[in-house]
Amino acid sequence: MKVKRIGVLTSGGDCPGLNAAIRAVVKSAINNYNYEVIGFRDGYRGLVRNNYVQMELSDVSGILDKGGTILGTTNRYNPFKVVYDKDGEKTLMDMSDRIKDNLSMYDISCLVIIGGDTTLKYAAQLTEKGIPIVVVPKTIENDIYGTDITIGFNTAVNTAALAIDKLHSTAESHHRVMILEVMGRASGWVALESGIAAGADVILIPEIPYDINRVARSILERKNAGKGFSIIVMAEGARPVGSPLTHNEQDDSYFNGDRGKVCGTSSYLAKELERLTSIETRITVLGYLQRGGEPSPYDRVLATRFGASAVNLIEKGELNRMVCMDHDTVKSVPLIEVAGKLRKVPKKGELIGIARYMGVSLGE
């Protein structure tokens, strides 16, 4: 395949390191292979609406340390189910053929798609339409199957660990239980690593449903030992045993079937702990602070390695693959083998064992 022009886009939630990845793709493509690079704005929406810009080296100058993405992005935009109005009624339409036509019109040989698990799923479906794709994995939750780490994760852990450090002093001063809720609907990587790094007393993750009574007991045991405060780090997808919280995709809330109320994960935990321990409990939801800001040096290097490797795969004709990290070596895997799968924290893995060795309660 003679490559003249490639496309690049960012899709899904933003995270630190996206601009570094875009920069690596553009510089590698132009400097090494004399490719033209077309940047599509706002993820898959830009592909459907043909909203693009031809990218030059000047466009990626000075963006290595910038958060967000200069191309923009969209969350929950499914190119196979695009909502449009037909005679006053909302209808779903598969726009994948239009994407294929748009790419053909501009003679784009391959797409570099920078995204997370949902983005990967749609990318795999597009390859079935005959669209050549190379994926660069990004997500602060680090839950993409087939790679040891994703762009954005290291920065998110740094941000969460810093928040825990700051919560320690106020928790100790007021003799309170402080709960920090971090991102992680299906996997607890951010909660686990930031909790270990900052010395949390309790870490709750989706992979291990927690027993509220055991969490309360660990807090009371600390109090009886002379430690009148506790730090809890929990992933947003953590759920209690026996009274599971079911995620609502529409508003990101959780439904407690026993009480018939919609509530945030940390809100539910705080109320139950205050009831069981009579210790004042406060919550901090870190939220989008985890996504924002400048990427860590590690993420800048990782994004640069991934972006450059994606372009090298295109030059070698190794398409429909995802760039990945395997034991600190950048490799690639077939996209079809990883799309639709999640990388979760192994219950018998080293990090879970380390947390237990350090006396951290996992709510078991």
Q: Is 18 domain-assigned?
A: yes
177, 171 in Cβ contact below 8 A?
A: yes
CATH number at residue 318: 3.40.50.450
Q: Taking the model in full, what pTM does it have?
A: 0.92
Q: Is the dihedral of CA 267, 269, 275, 279 positive or negative?
A: negative
pLDDT at 1: 61
Residue 64 belongs to what domain range? 5-152+295-338
Q: Is 343 domain-assigned?
A: no
The model's pLDDT over 334-352, given as tens digits with 9 standing for 90+, comes to: 999 999 999 999 999 999 9
Average pLDDT for consecutive 10-residue bins of the chain (364 residues)?
A: 89 96 98 97 96 97 96 93 85 94 94 96 96 97 97 98 96 94 95 98 96 96 94 95 56 42 74 95 94 96 98 97 97 97 96 97 96
CATH number at residue 163: 3.40.50.460
pLDDT at 236: 93
Q: Do 11 and 141 share a domain, yes or no? A: yes
The model's pLDDT over 289-319, given as tens digits with 9 standing for 90+, comes to: 999 999 999 999 999 999 999 999 999 999 9
Exposure letters 271-285 (e unless 16+ CB within 10 A, then b): ebbeeebebebbbbb
Q: Is 347 domain-assigned?
A: no
Q: Is 355 domain-assigned?
A: no
Eight-state DSSP code of residue 289? G
Task: Report the distance separating Cα 43 and Cα 95, nearest Å.
Answer: 14
